[in-house]
Chains A and B, each alone.
Chain A
Amino acid sequence: MPSHKRKKKHLKHKHDKTRQSSKQHPNSRTRSSSRSSSRSRSRSSSRSNIDCDYGTKNLKCKERIRPRSRSTSDSDEGLRKNSFSRSHSKSNSFLEGLNTNDNKHSRSCDKREFSKQKADIESPVATPLDWNFDFRKFKYSLGKIFLTDKYFSKITDRGSQEHDDFWAFVSRYQDFQKKKLQRSQGSNMCEDSNEEKPGLQLGLPQKYDVQYKVNISFRSKEFDIFLKKNRLVDHQLEKELTRDRVIQFRTILIHFLDFQQKQKFQKLHKIQHDQRNLPIYMYKQEIVDTLKKYQVVVVAGDTGCGKSTQVPQYLLEAGYEKIACTQPRRIACISLSKRVGYETLNEYGSQVAYQVRFEKSKTAATKVLFLTEGLLLRQMTTDPLLEMYSVIVIDEVHERHIFTDFLLGVLKCILMQRKDLKLVLMSATINIGLFSGYFNNAPVIKVPGRLYPIELEYCPITRDDTSDSRRLDPTPYLRVMQKIDHKYPSSERGDLLIFLSGMSEIMSVVEAARAYAQQMKRWIVLPLHSALSVEEQDKVFDIAPEGVRKCIVSTNIAETSVTIDGVRFIVDSGKVKEMSFDPKYKMQRLQEFWISRASSEQRKGRAGRTGPGVCYRLYDEADYNDFQDYSTPELQRVPLDSLILQMISMGLPDARKFPFIEPPSISSLENSIQFLKEQGALTSDESLTPTGQMLSMLPVDVVIGKMLIMGSIFNMIDPILSITAAMSVQSPFTNKAYTDSEAMTARKPLESDHGDPFTLLNAFDEWIQVKAQGQGTRKWSKRRGLEEQRFYEMMKLKRQFSDLLRDHHLLDGGEPTQRYLSSEQRRAQHGERKRLAQLRKEKMRERKRRKVLTLEDEEYKISDEEEDSKEGDIKDLEFRLSNDLSQLQETSNRSRSLTLRDVNLVKIILCSGLYPQVAIADECNTYKRDSEQAFHTKSKPFLLLHPTSTFAANPDVLMPKDAGGKRPAPSDLKGLMSAKHELFAYVSLLETNNKPYLVNTMRVPALQTVTLFSNCIDTNSDCTRLLCDGWLELKFPEAETAEKVITSILTLRSTWYALLKVSLLDEASAEIWGQFTHGMQRHWICPGCGVAMVVSVLERLQHQAACSGEGGEGLKATEAAEEEKEKEKELNPHRKPYHCQDCGETLSLTTTEILRHRKSHSAGTSASN
């Protein structure tokens, strides 16, 4: 057996790491000769050279292939390699011959290396190797032989994805080979003959083997050594790891490399393939060309046409470099930037980046930036013409958010000044004419969406049984479910999505549908609305088992915000509950409306995302035709306070003249301007006050912003941060919190007598405590009907708020100094970090597979298993790592030990933002549970407590305090003089089901609140009667008390104003002043009245304030009050008029302390309505 011998010889003396080099060996001579001559040789002559080559090779081939036919092995690697190498090198020379002038194809780089290592790896055994060997057991040794190069370091890293992938590949490959071996043994059919067929010119190996299809190989020094010496230099190999096995492993590794390359290419190819299959791809050139010609282009395309991801890329490709793409939602910015980064193969670069309120990934290299509309507007305060961008893309213009509309107006102005700026508006195919017309008939490019046909059926509800009009009748919805059951076999998949207007409607349909589902066993009914916990919401994405459909009963949240795949049937009630805003009462109103035609089409479209669908409309076609064309833009539905404040700070002084695309009502504008004036944010001539200046810089609601400012001025920031954060997120109380009696009892200790803001504060602090004690907060939250997610959000917001305040120097100190950790703590932290990484990885994998629902899944149960929620664990660990729990616990302990005095201060701070949002109780209230208590505000009488309020459950705490503990008859209360009268500050008014409610209420002392914050106080001559803001009247029994009260009020108000001025105008020096106010006295002549005096800074400020009258506060006092002020000037500010002897003694109070102090002593006067 000559060939066999030869092989052995090869093995002994020559070995090779790669098949690549092996292909060189049989005719390296030929190769070099052809190469040396190829440059000058003509094409034909080189061919002849090859031909003669070919002959000799074929000879060799025959000779060598013979033994192979005897072996049944599929893996006789050496043989394969030999024949392969021959043909390959042949083709190489052939190639070179043809390419005489083109040295692109010549391989000179590694020629020498090849000849050095020309040898084959051949198997000396004749019997084929089985594939049953467990290579996993020898990971370490195999790693030593093959994977020492840096390129493989991921494979050897046991925690990495590539490591897992590789070993999974190894077992798959082995399984595959095993099966293949069985098959070939079973049939013993060999399709490809080894015989030479005549007339073949390419010299390809005729015995097919998958190895020939691999174009990759690798080198490993250790492997060479192993081949030479059968061992490694520095590592003892296991004896099971025979030479054959090692060579076998090498084959697997090569196949893995090939597989990996193919996989990666596939990924790359798929991206491009998908991009080209998007409907918008056809319009790529048109979009780019039109934008070159015109300044503004409208791209209108329906969902799924790809505009949001593709247009920014088209612009980038067209050479634009400073591209801003706005999105109405923050999450969309982040996910789009990720997606576009991925598609432009910049996943890890920052060419495509995002920037949202508190986060950014933008760098100097960024060319495409996704940002929120609000942020782009904010950038205009520093860059009024947006010169940092050359193209601005505004996505989802049709959604008409308040900032979208504002941005459109602002850009219209900027475009006139910047002819080089390009603007792309992207919209659904709704109301395109409006946008195009607004920008001087800008060209419109219409892109069809990718939708499957949708069958439409009108099934109007016949109203014969409208006896109970309050509750929605679920029968029509059940009828549709039955219809689906009859008409479509359960083997055809496809879920049902029902659009209803609100939560109670959802509840009644869900209830009925579940009863039906129980009976049929063919449905899983899932509600979907924003008050559900995150986990419950996520259930709608899970998959129903075979033969069962999901029935998702949703609000309009599923219309645009949440997209569920696999929906085939739609039931559209045609109704929506929408928040409207009544500027007259500053009241939000949740009302049921017919939807617009646009959103009815949108709802229908949800059925055709993944296949043809059916839409049942539970109204008449005539109704449909009567629908409004489009939904009302947000601008016309919400308070405009923040918007106007921002406009003024951007240098647009008159909102009434702003070119809105569709202007809001004049009354809405005027009301907001009035409100801002009342809040002390605008002066009477509508310019910004220092407070207004600061508020315009804080990207939060005016009310919240004011609380934050005051909270930092009065050093009471932590509870204020918690409360404002809680007010800015959705309530952590799920609707279960108010229905489940167990949850209600468990929650009892959290409830505060003082009101809802304090209940929120307690809940949050308690949550931190539980967390700090290392207990499961998830279970804790669930038991109390709380949504834990909200607390994490609050935590984030709190931090963001304090960062904001720090940025504007309202809060001192940078980040808390580095904590010192013991080695044990460090170790624990390291452990947590590791666990976090692992959990994240697991979750990523899990996410790939959607869970399959079971029929029981619709029941939402409180389970004690905490371990099943990785999400929760991840959040928990993230939280622990990013926060110093012990420190948090400390602050929360502090807020637990709030004294009454502190509570009062917190109330005052909250009121500073909330005022004039106060209500007074009706005199006839019974304060009994189960009866409704009425309240009145200045503009709106007879408001009720919202059922979620702490007070609604315990109305007795609202009882007037001077009643002596007995429940007085309403008639007794009438006209009663009380020193402890209380008002109710509220965060908002909300009208649902035609009942107006106070939301988020808090008890506040009446006299102090009103006198401190009202914008105008009218008095009689001896000040025994005060009429505050024209509706609340205070009466004093004695003129002396009245005098004292008035005096202190004036002192306080001027000090308050001065303090604000100092804090906001002179941020940097304010602190120092605070410290030295009392020590430093100097001569000063008041420019107002020309009196020379020796005063402290504080006194000076007070004098100034007094001298310059009421200043921007808008305090409008009567003549009597003027007199009081004169008196006040003479009074030593120390002489705090009433109560507490302490005050008289502690003369050197800081301004802060004066105010703080004052809050706690506030009895002794009487007030009445």
Chain B
Amino acid sequence: MNPEMVPSGVLVVAIGVLFAAGVYLLLERSLTRVLLGFILVGNGANLLMLVAGGRAGGAPIAGITPVDEMSDPLAQAMVLTSIVITLALTAFVLAMAYRSWQLNGHDEVADDVEDRRIARLAARNAPVYRDVDQGEAGTLDEDAAAARDETERDEAGDKTGEAT
């Protein structure tokens, strides 16, 4: 195995702890905790990308660090944008948490009422949506007797009907 690529054990541990703690929070209902979990998971993911890029090295700056001592710049470029996007996302979820608190008095993610309703209806085999064409059908004969085309005769009949 390429010695350049052997990962550092403590970083692997850090990834594991960040993910475990992050996921634990992510599965909560409070949006604030979900958000904190997301940030921790994001940190863990950033470390993971860095580790996947190879071992630690010098700063990837040409002219200062010799090329073969540099750490992988591509992974760093990706992580850099990911950090800033995490910031944007944090603000967004915070705004949602605040709005939820403003409306409901808490920042908990409630279950989707519509999903619950469908599950309840499904459990007792009730129709989950209203279909005007559902229900008992007429027999072929009844339907046929009721079906009439708009033919020329109707018009004539209407006219005679009006005349009499």
A, B co-complexed: no
